Amino acid sequence: MKTLILYSSTDGHTAKICQFLQKVIEQQEETTLISVEHESNINLKNFDRVILGASIRYGKHSPLIVDFINNNTAMLNTLPNAFFSVNLVARKPEKRTPETNPYLNKFLKQISWKPMELAVFAGKLDYPRYKFRDRLMIRMIMWMTGGPTERNAVVEFTDWKQVAAFGRLVSQMKRPPNGYNAAGLA
């Protein structure tokens, strides 16, 4: 089987998570990793499984990932598929599940695609890497939510065991024999 991991990464941490997922999945099969920022015309017919991942910035996923989903919903529905969101709200254990993460829930209401598997991963806080405006805004958000606010803080909140478990789960997803996904859509 061939798996596509397509992602949108604001500061590079979602790309790092995708690279880790690729290593987990490649133990079982061929995996292609593509940034939606660099390639948006992807022929999904070349793949047997699709994983999409996107980071959050100011409460929203990238419009490029939303456009890709909206333009490819029918094809996504024919393949085993998954979606994961990377955000700093997920640093709190009570906000780290698909059911409890407000950004993922808001996102799922904006799209018609219903992923077969979902995950939420805590991201990385990297004040030195951010542009001035982003650093100020993110520090204010962290202050309001009880997160780190030290000017030079770099904190990786990602639970790599959780990412590995998601990779193993997704790598076991198979295409139903009749060509329909779990929702019964062609």
Average pLDDT per consecutive 10 residues, the chain (186 residues; last block may be shorter): 93 96 90 89 91 92 93 94 96 94 94 96 95 93 93 95 96 68 44
- What per-residue confidence (pLDDT) applies to 179? 52
Residues 79 and 22 in one domain: yes
Whether 185 maps to a domain, the answer reads no
| Neighbouring-strand partners of residue 82 | 51, 117
Domain of 144, in residue numbers:
125-157
- What per-residue confidence (pLDDT) applies to 80? 96
Angle between helices 160-171 and 13-25 (to 10 degrees): 50
> Which of 2, 5, 4 shows the shortest CA–CA distance to 54?
5
d(CA 1, CA 16): 23
Whether 178 maps to a domain, the answer reads no
- What per-residue confidence (pLDDT) applies to 122? 96
- What per-residue confidence (pLDDT) applies to 185? 44
Residues 73 and 147 in one domain: no
Token couple for 35: 């940034």
- What per-residue confidence (pLDDT) applies to 174? 81
Whether 108 maps to a domain, the answer reads yes
d(CA 57, CA 89): 11
DSSP string, 2-37: EEEEEEE-SSSHHHHHHHHHHHHHTTTSEEEEEETT
160 membership: H or E segment, kind and range: helix 160-171
Whether 186 maps to a domain, the answer reads no
Residues 6 and 67 in one domain: yes
Whether 44 maps to a domain, the answer reads yes
Residues 8 and 73 in one domain: yes
Residues 131 and 52 in one domain: no
Residues 119 and 140 in one domain: no
d(CA 153, CA 135): 11
Residues 116 and 141 in one domain: no
Whether 85 maps to a domain, the answer reads yes
- What per-residue confidence (pLDDT) applies to 130? 93
CATH of the domain at 75: 3.40.50.360
Residues 113 and 153 in one domain: no
d(CA 144, CA 152): 18
| Domains contained in the chain, number | 2
Does the CA dihedral 24-26-28-34 come out positive or negative?
positive
State the CB neighbour count (10 A cutoff) for residue 52.
24
